[in-house]
Amino acid sequence: MQLRWVKTASLLFMGFYQPLAMAVEFSDPEIIVHNCYGCHGAKAQKSPVAKGAVPSLQALPASYIIESLTDFKYDKREGTIMNRIAKGYTEGELSAVASYLAAPTNNKP
Amino acid sequence: MRILNRREFLKYSLTAGAAMALSACENMPEQSNQPLSQNTEHAKGRRKVVIIGGGVGGATAAKYIRKADARIEVTLIEPKISYTTCFGSNWVVAGIKDFAGLEHSYQDLREKYGVKILHDSVTQIDPDKRKVITQDGRNLYFERLIVSPGIDFHWNEIVGYTEEVSYEFPHAWQAGEQTKLLIRQLHAMRNGGTVIIAPPRDPFRCPPGPYERASMIAHYLKQHKPRSKILILDAKDSFSKRTLFLQGWEKTYGYGTDHAMIEWIPAAQDGRVLQFDPINKTVYAEFGKQKADVINIIPAQKAGQIAHSAGLTDETGWCPVHHRTWESSKIPHVHVIGDASIAGGLPKSGYAANSEAKVCALAVVALMNGQQVRVPSWINTCYSLVTPLYGISVAMVYKVNEKDEIYAVDGAGGVSQSDYDGVAGNKLAEAIYAKNWYENITADIFH
């Protein structure tokens, strides 16, 4: 039973995980965006303390998002933490994030 | 690991598909041992996730599983009627936040997301039969179990600081009555009194927390009891955002001068507390004894109790997991998230627990649906307040390598700009963001 489980598990591991040929894997854009929601909220949140201080990510065009994120990444725009966050992703990942956020069906509460 | 070519990958994928079908049969509850009701439920094809713990990790996971696949039934087991966040609780001391503002009900998880909320406690996990047994005698089957039990304490490691003593001298490291008691004691203290904060050794929940607490108490004392003093007697020689905190204390609380409101004594200067005498309100540190009016010992920590009794912990007292799925390395089909897990470089913070829960939620949905587990990444962002208008932060992006190890992305993250760099920094903006962050993350978790 124990051995069978191990075999099953290792087969599952090989089958369901990303192929490991790439040195650095491309992070899933939806998971990246879920992490953004920790500060930005999944929809426009009404904060009694500092309403709108952290901008909502809803209803923004992809071109604006990708420009903002790459500007933060390369320090062309000064922020507080966004410069530090944007440097964590490749241009390809930031582009995928922008596409995901801009798709009206994806960015919902 | 050997790199698979395309043909090999396809072959393994197909084999995995077959293995999945096989394992589904294997994992069916054995007919002879199971009560009829459970078999009936299973036969109907109702797919069940049980989550233990309604804190940041558990509540986030519940919501994000239901958002990803509403066909999965999610039961969240939590004894408390509402959750009081630990983050933000220091702000109550400084009068920035009402205590009630820390409390969050489970109503939205229940009504908006269809999570079944069970106010009960799990007494036993049976991984073979895949069920949890509760204090009220319930018997719940799970296909996948997520354990998010938070922290427990190493009582009496500081000799004399026991659980009983903590009801009189609060650690206030699990928010609730403990927080209220600490605030009452600070309000009752005389002008000119001494407050001791004794932060624990690593690792522990909320690494900047003890130092933000010192800041918020200092803010209160400066206005109401200005002759008072805070002594931080530390078990460590450094701490999270140390440069920024010390700089903020110099600017605001006279740190390093004769009139310093906050004094920090690290382990290297014999600051570590060894023993506590509650009757004489005296701590015994390596440098000698110190009497105080309010004493806040934050004990060393380990994973929440149920993780230990279920066999999910290792010799460190925390829970090893596979980081792409947060499935326990000790017990299959059981996932551990939040402070209780061993999370690579991710700190034991609310933001990290929220981030881990989202990765875990999508992995659980993928595994239950026979889909590929996605490539994860995580963010941690921690704001601390030095004063209500002076905020500092630390942030980092984390990814995972092919060895299943989490790593901080090179060149990313770090702490706020330091004033020593010759610029004023963004302390006011970060204070505003900190308060706004509280509203947004709690909305993301509970609402």
Tens of pLDDT along B432-444? 999 999 999 999 9
Does pLDDT of A19 surpass 60?
no
What is the β-pairing status of strands B72-77 and B47-52?
parallel
- What B38-41 contacts at long range (C-beta under 8 Å, 24+ apart), as own/partner pairs, is B38/B131, B38/B139, B38/B141, B41/B141
Model pLDDT, residue B91: 98
Model pLDDT, residue B264: 98
> Using an 8 Å Cβ cutoff, are B268 and B237 in contact?
yes
> Six-digit token pair at B209?
């927390």
Tell me if A17 and B9 make a contact (CB, 8 A cut-off). no
- What are residue B144's DSSP bridge partners? B49
Model pLDDT, residue B2: 39
Model pLDDT, residue B419: 67
Does pLDDT of A43 surpass 70?
no
**Residue B306 or B2, more confident:** B306
State chain B's mean pLDDT as an integer: 90
Tell me if A15 and B411 make a contact (CB, 8 A cut-off). no
Model pLDDT, residue B146: 98
Segments in B27-69 forming alpha helices (H):
36-43, 56-68
> Using an 8 Å Cβ cutoff, are B221 and B228 in contact?
yes
- What are residue B262's DSSP bridge partners? B230
Which pLDDT band, with edges at 50, 70 and 90, does B15 fall under? Answer: very low
- What are residue B124's DSSP bridge partners? B133
- The string of pLDDT tens digits covering residues B214-270 is 999 999 999 999 999 999 999 999 999 999 999 999 999 999 999 999 999 999 999
Percent of chain B past pLDDT 70, that is, above it, reads: 88
Model pLDDT, residue B149: 98
Which residue of A lies nearest to B366 if distances are taken between CA atoms?
A16
Residue-wise DSSP of A31-45: HHHHHHHHHH-SS--
Model pLDDT, residue B357: 98
Among B95, B436, B446, which Cα is nearest to A49's? B436
* CB nearest B19 (choices: A12, A35, A47): A12
Q: Which fold has domain A19-102?
A: Cytochrome Bc1 Complex; Chain D, domain 2 (1.10.760)
- What are residue B322's DSSP bridge partners? B327
Helix, strand, coil fractions of chain B, as percent rounded to 5: 35, 25, 40
CA distances from A44 to A57, A58, B185 (A): 8, 7, 39
Model pLDDT, residue A50: 43
Tell me if B412 and A87 make a contact (CB, 8 A cut-off). yes
The three-state secondary structure class of B48 is strand
Which residue of A lies nearest to B113 if distances are taken between CA atoms?
A109
- The string of pLDDT tens digits covering residues B278-304 is 999 999 999 999 999 999 999 999 999
Which pLDDT band, with edges at 50, 70 and 90, does B421 fall under? Answer: low
Q: Report d(CA B356, CA B353) in Å as an integer.
A: 5
Model pLDDT, residue B323: 97
**Rg (alpha carbons) of chain A, rounded to whole number:** 18
Does pLDDT of B24 surpass 60?
no
- The string of pLDDT tens digits covering residues B33-55 is 334 334 333 434 669 999 999 99
Calculate the CA dihedral of residues B94, B99, B104, B107 and round it to 10 degrees.
-150
Does pLDDT of B83 surpass 50?
yes
Residue spans of beta strands (DSSP E) within chain A: none
Interface test with A, best of B444, B446, B447 (most A CBs within 10 A): B444
Model pLDDT, residue B19: 39
Does pLDDT of B313 surpass 60?
yes
Mean pLDDT of B124-138: 97
Model pLDDT, residue A106: 73
Tell me if B436 and A48 make a contact (CB, 8 A cut-off). no
Tell me if B359 and A9 make a contact (CB, 8 A cut-off). no
The three-state secondary structure class of A5 is helix
* CB nearest B15 (choices: A11, A31, A42): A11
ipTM of the complex: 0.88
- What are residue B390's DSSP bridge partners? B387
Model pLDDT, residue A24: 76
- What are residue B290's DSSP bridge partners? B283
Which 8-state DSSP code applies to residue B159?
B
Does pLDDT of A107 surpass 80?
no
Which 8-state DSSP code applies to residue A99?
H
Does pLDDT of B4 surpass 80?
no
Mean pLDDT of B354-366: 98
**Residue B36 or A51, more confident:** A51
Model pLDDT, residue A54: 87
Helix (H) or strand (E) holding B152: strand B151-153
Mean pLDDT of B122-143: 97
Q: Report d(CA A58, CA B251) in Å as an integer.
A: 39
**Rg (alpha carbons) of chain B, rounded to whole number:** 24
* CB nearest B439 (choices: A45, A80, A89): A45
Model pLDDT, residue B17: 39
> Using an 8 Å Cβ cutoff, are B431 and B403 in contact?
no
**Helices A29-40 and B350-368 sit at what angle, rounded to 10 degrees?**
150
Those of residues 141-170 in B touching chain A at CB distance below 8 A are none
Q: For each of the domains in chain B, give its residue range(s) and CATH number, in order of start.
A: 26-152+302-376 (3.50.50.60), 155-299 (3.50.50.60)
**Residue B180 or B46, more confident:** B180
Model pLDDT, residue B214: 98
State chain A's mean pLDDT as an integer: 78
Model pLDDT, residue B43: 38
Model pLDDT, residue B403: 92
**Residue A45 or B81, more confident:** B81
Q: Would you tell me how many other CB atoms lie within 10 Å of the CB of residue A100?
A: 18
> Six-digit token pair at B215?
């800041």
Mean pLDDT of B322-346: 97
Backbone angles phi, psi at B94, to 5 degrees: -85, 0
Does pLDDT of B163 surpass 50?
yes
| Residue B203, preceding peptide bond in cis (omega within 30° of 0) | yes
Model pLDDT, residue A52: 62
The three-state secondary structure class of B313 is coil
Residue-wise DSSP of B204-251: -SSTTHHHHHHHHHHHHHHHH-TT-EEEEE-SSS--TTHHHHHHHHHH
